[in-house]
Chains A and B, each alone.
Chain A
Amino acid sequence: MHVIARRLTIVALLSLGIIGSWPVVVASAEETLEAENIPFSFEGAFGLFDRAQLQRGFQVYSQVCSSCHSLNLLHYRNLGDRGGPDFPEMQVKAIAAMVEVEDGPNDEGEMFTRPGAPSDPFVKPFPNEKAARAANGGALPPDLSLITKAREGWRGTFRQLVDGIGGPEYVHAVLTGYREKPENVPEGPAGKYYNPYFSAGPWISMPPPLSDGLVEYTDGTASSVDQMARDVAAFLAWAGEPKMERRKSLGFRVLVYIVILATLLFLTKNRVWSRIEH
């Protein structure tokens, strides 16, 4: 009797798991595609950012994306942070000095411009939302500081537990996902591009931003569209979670500590409880 009840419970639990992992069918699911999983260096419990990749990614951001997309949560000094692109201090200063920053008011009450300093936040491409929309056919290019944490490359409760939400993969998929629209898809709005990986897609206002050889990498890496998309996705993953390396290394030490403490407590508990009948 109990054996049957227990087996039934196990069967029920398993079937709950199966229906729980059934993919959610959203209205737009037939029009948009899941991103391709990319084995980034920063995945897994011990994965770290690839410094060279982050530096290349910054190059893509600053030469291509930054003309429309802001990165409001970053300061130039962050480019020299450990656990990030780790640019040398002189280079950070040089990068910051390349932009003009509005400052003031000065003692005369006037605003003025000066060369950027590492303590400045990344300059915005547009002064306000209206200006951004006006320059982009009514569409607003989103801030990219948290884009890899705010967008999902794929769905599924268990898939996301194992593979993460696929935020960097989403960025890569959108950047490389432009194509001719299939025959059966109706014509989209004027001035929009077909991209089945775009989350609110498949029609996206952003024209294909990358083309082979667009950026000349200082480290000599061949700049294919795929390579640039991977690099900038990695850079944005760091921009969204700049303390990731610190988090993982501290986490490892905390877990080692917890395991030792748990072992000692378990032994103590057995010792203490052996004094009494239980």
Chain B
Amino acid sequence: MVKYGVFLGCFIPFRYPCVEAAIRKVLDALGADYTILAGYTCCPEPMLTRLVDPDLWLMLAARNLALAEEQGVEELVVPCCGCYESLYEAEHALEDEEKRDQVNQVLSKLGHEYKGTVRVECLTGILYRDFMSKLEEMVSRPFRARVAIHYCCHLFRPRPGEDIWLKHDRSRDLVRSMGAEVLRYKLERFCCGFPAFQVDPEFSLRERLAPKLASMRAVGAECVVTACMACITQFERGQVMLRRYGMRYDMPVLHPVELVALAIGVEPGELGLEVHRSPVPQLVKRIYGS
């Protein structure tokens, strides 16, 4: 059995503990051999840090990967697409031996070494690849809702030779197998606007988030599902902020693992869904009646 290490990142434990609870409950229910990575830092986040200081970005990401190896992890499972991009890009960059040696020279001063044995994978990909048939059997309370999936931009990081849509197709199939109806809404590849929010909030909200939400609503979506914590933040915070421009969507936003947890029978009360700033508890009540 593969030894998984879960990289929780920053947003999940401190903004969305409901997602952490769902991850633990789903992996426990699946009987997965996993550990929560200890001593880790921010991935570090792939936009500002990597653009502003690529050396610091690579060094901190390499430290996280080295920690995973030290803790016996074979596959580092990353529930957030942003963290996934950062760690996967670092894994890829460190395939260059010269670069890896440079990084290890610094890491070795602190007693670490990145050997390149750990593999980075996104959580939805792992759930699909290793547990799909088991999960399908475990579905006891199908998540019967019309779902619009936001395929986070960060997930478009295929391994060499891999289909660029593979991870997205797997996310869609995973969500669908939990009983949801996955809708096409034409703006799947459109960015949610989170990166632009750092520079121009109005543009980010009105020109990126609002068209996306409008197209989702137009096809009858009852909720948004996305595996990126920055995107979840943008969808939830953004909907609140869009009210100042007279736009109101009230669209619940969930991480796929929450949906999986609910579908396999985890009680909503055990997940703490009220942490969400969108009407997730109301949606869940409508689906499950509790």
- Asked whether A and B interact, the reply is no
Please give the residue numbers on chain B whose beta carbons come within 8 Å of chain A beta carbons, in ascending order: none
Please give the residue numbers on chain A whose beta carbons come within 8 Å of chain B beta carbons, in ascending order: none
